[in-house]
Chain A
Amino acid sequence: MFNPIKTAIYIAFIALQLGLVITADVGFYQQTSALLLLWFAVIFAVTQLLNQLTLASEQETQYAKFIKPLVPALFAFILLLVWESIVKGFAVSPILLPTPSAIFGALISNIPTLWADFKQTYLKAVLAGYILGSLSGFIVAQWAVKSLFLRNGLLPLGNFMSAIPIVGIAPIMVMWFGFDWQSKAAVIVVMTFFPMFINTLAGLQSVDPIHKDLMHTYAAKKSQIFLKCQLPQALPFIFNALKLNSTLALIGAIVAEFFGTPIVGMGFRISTEVGRMNMDMVWATIVVAAIAGSLSYGALALLEKSLLFWHPSLRSGSKR
């Protein structure tokens, strides 16, 4: 199946395209449109390579673990290559769409500014709002699981809230809590409360009655029942909400900054640099936001894996 000569040719095609993009002048497709033909070869080569890698990652070899992340990585690399080639080759105005290399350049040369924005938006607003919102959702769910009255009242309200655009409260919160990070945290608290509440409630209610009976026969105290039976059972649901909230929180903070902010913060950076048509800086900020979002999601997923190693959805047999 594996043919080193063919593979070498495929890689050579991609390298050729890469070399073309790096060395050729801006607007090379407009001058010689025949260069576009290279894409047929490149796309064919990429599909073949991706197929080979997928096959290789499915065979039970010792390398499968390392090959698996290569597939999406190669895919993303090709996407960036397409982006760079089109923008450079057709001389697209940088105001419309900067090249990935320009974005990377802006990212590297503006690290102090971006770090200050990150500190303001993420370390202050997002973390504070996220923790407060998730925690209060969790606590209210504890009350609701014991009281039918609260459940009946809050669940329809929660469903209603999930259908409405909560980010809309951002201007109100900015008016109430001022321009600094407190108003952004307040938006995030409202945004993250209900997902956490609904998920925790569903998790706490999913406890098997037999388990409860067992705890009862052990004469377990309420705190013991909670810690050893209810909480572990609810953890997968709670992690779902935590992951969902991590994205929501970042969105809430950035959107709220559009409505007013001190002169620092990711939302502020985006809106001012758009005004100055400084698109590579805008995209650099977005890259920072994307990295922050993905890393927090990934960290939560890792934490879930280590805490829920016993859960059927994470045991190796039923992995999907």
Chain B
Amino acid sequence: MLTKIIEKKWFALVSLVLALLALWYAAALVMNGKQIIQNYERKHQTWTYSQVIDQAYTVKRPMLPAPHQVAIELKKSIFDKSVTSKRSLIYHAQITLNSTLLGFALGSLLGILIAIGIVHNKTLESSLMPWVIASQTIPILAIAPIIVVVLGAINITGVVPKAIISMYLSFFPVTIAMAKGLRASDTLHEELMYTYNASAKQVFWKLRWYSAQPYLFASLKVAIAAALVGAIVAELPTGAQGGLGSRLLSGSYYGQTEQIWAALIVSALLGSILVWIVGLVEKRLLSRRGGPANV
């Protein structure tokens, strides 16, 4: 009976999460406690451990806010503020979401187009493919703020510069997976198309497009997560008016740790929801072709 429970997935997950929470509380006690003790000693006051423990979870700008402090901050900035308020995390999340989705759409489109070109043209493959791979060894995120600043200088502000970063990050996985998927069609099917005297266009629309779909969706999940990262980092420069990234930056400038953690948690939620939605679409589409193919 007991071993059965231990082997259950939910049990492992729940106990791990509980362990992490416990660790978090302990770490908060130690880190904030140190700060409080230093404070006392600077003022040459006497202190006891019970005093420190009392205060550790209620400090104003803690080194590490305890989970319940973050939860309160989350509740304050999600439910207690109207959605249009600049202090509402929903407002900021929606700004980030806009550029993420635009960048994701553009990036996937670009990725698919490049893959189609690569598969159909030998010259394009040998001249472009090495650079597609090399483009990802360049820490593009590092220049995200510059792109935003530069585009801002020529009056392109708002969602577009951020979407460009997201696009750059999300096109790569799609290109690689699509190139692989478009070539993954069954040889027998290809030969059949050949005997039908099918044109390259027909082969593409009637065969390759379908063989590529499982690969495409696997890569779309990676791409949308990358697009979110791109959007958030692009919001880091001070020019950005809103978004989860600018919440992170202002939180770090003013030492508002609770604000940082709340923004982090919202972005984590946003990321996993986006990936989940792509997964849902994948399941719907792929189930029509006889069960989700796991490639």
Residues on A close to B: CB < 8 A?
47, 50-51, 53-54, 57-58, 68-69, 71-72, 74-76, 95-97, 148-154, 156-157, 160, 162-165, 167-169, 171-172, 174-176, 246-247, 250-251, 254-255, 258-260, 266-267, 270-271, 274, 279, 282, 286, 289-290, 293-294, 296-297
The stretch from B131-139, B191-199, B201-209, B211-219 touching chain A is B131-139
B293 to chain A, nearest CB (A): 19
Residues on B close to A: CB < 8 A?
6-9, 11-13, 15-16, 31, 63-64, 122-123, 126-131, 134, 136-143, 145-146, 149-150, 153-154, 225, 228-229, 232-233, 236-237, 244-245, 248-249, 251-252, 255, 257, 260-261, 263-264, 267-268, 271-272, 274-275
CB atoms of A175 and B252 under 8 A apart: yes
CB contacts (< 8 Å) of A160 on chain B: these are 268, 272
A43 to B127, CA, bound (A): 14
**CB-CB under 8 A for A168 and B252, given A96-B154, A271-B145:** no
A216 to chain B, nearest CB (A): 24
B73 to chain A, nearest CB (A): 14
CB atoms of B146 and A171 under 8 A apart: no
CB atoms of B248 and A168 under 8 A apart: yes
A167 to B150, CA, bound (A): 23
CB atoms of A165 and B252 under 8 A apart: no
CB atoms of B13 and A152 under 8 A apart: yes
CB atoms of B126 and A54 under 8 A apart: yes
**CB-CB under 8 A for A247 and B139, given A72-B127, A157-B16, A163-B225:** yes
A164 to B232, CA, bound (A): 11
A71 to B271, CA, bound (A): 39
Closest 5 CB pairs of A and B: A171-B252, A152-B12, A153-B16, A254-B142, A153-B12
Partner among A167, A171, A290 whose Cβ is within 8 Å of the Cβ of B138: A290
CB contacts (< 8 Å) of A58 on chain B: these are 122
A244 to chain B, nearest CB (A): 9
CB atoms of B9 and A290 under 8 A apart: no
Given contacts A47-B123, A294-B134, 10 further A-B contacts (CB under 8 A): A54-B123, A75-B131, A157-B16, A163-B274, A165-B229, A168-B263, A169-B264, A171-B252, A174-B252, A274-B146
**Can you offer 27 A-B residue contacts whose CB atoms are under 8 A?**
A53-B126, A54-B123, A69-B130, A72-B128, A72-B131, A76-B131, A97-B150, A148-B7, A148-B12, A162-B225, A163-B268, A164-B225, A165-B271, A167-B232, A168-B248, A168-B264, A171-B249, A175-B252, A175-B257, A176-B31, A176-B64, A247-B137, A250-B139, A255-B233, A255-B236, A259-B249, A270-B143
Partner among A76, A148, A297 whose Cβ is within 8 Å of the Cβ of B137: A297
CB atoms of A274 and B271 under 8 A apart: no
CB contacts (< 8 Å) of A286 on chain B: these are 138, 142-143
A305 to B228, CA, bound (A): 33
Q: Which residue of A lies closest to B251 (CB)?
A: A171
A294 to B138, CA, bound (A): 7
CB atoms of B123 and A51 under 8 A apart: yes
CB atoms of B12 and A149 under 8 A apart: yes
Q: Which residue of A lies closest to B122 (CB)?
A: A54
A175 to B275, CA, bound (A): 30
CB atoms of A154 and B268 under 8 A apart: no
CB contacts (< 8 Å) of A290 on chain B: these are 137-139
Partner among B145, B232, B264 whose Cβ is within 8 Å of the Cβ of A270: B145
CB contacts (< 8 Å) of A75 on chain B: these are 127-128, 131
A148 to B63, CA, bound (A): 35
**CB-CB under 8 A for A259 and B252, given A71-B126, A75-B131:** yes
A262 to B7, CA, bound (A): 49
B106 to chain A, nearest CB (A): 19
CB contacts (< 8 Å) of B143 on chain A: these are 270, 282, 286
CB contacts (< 8 Å) of B141 on chain A: these are 167, 251, 254-255
**Residue with the greatest number of chain B CB neighbours at <10 A, chosen from A164, A266, A271:** A164
Partner among B13, B255, B275 whose Cβ is within 8 Å of the Cβ of A153: B13
CB contacts (< 8 Å) of A148 on chain B: these are 7, 12
A97 to B143, CA, bound (A): 13
**Residue with the greatest number of chain B CB neighbours at <10 A, chosen from A58, A165, A175, A282:** A165
**Residue with the greatest number of chain A CB neighbours at <10 A, chosen from B7, B123, B130, B272:** B123
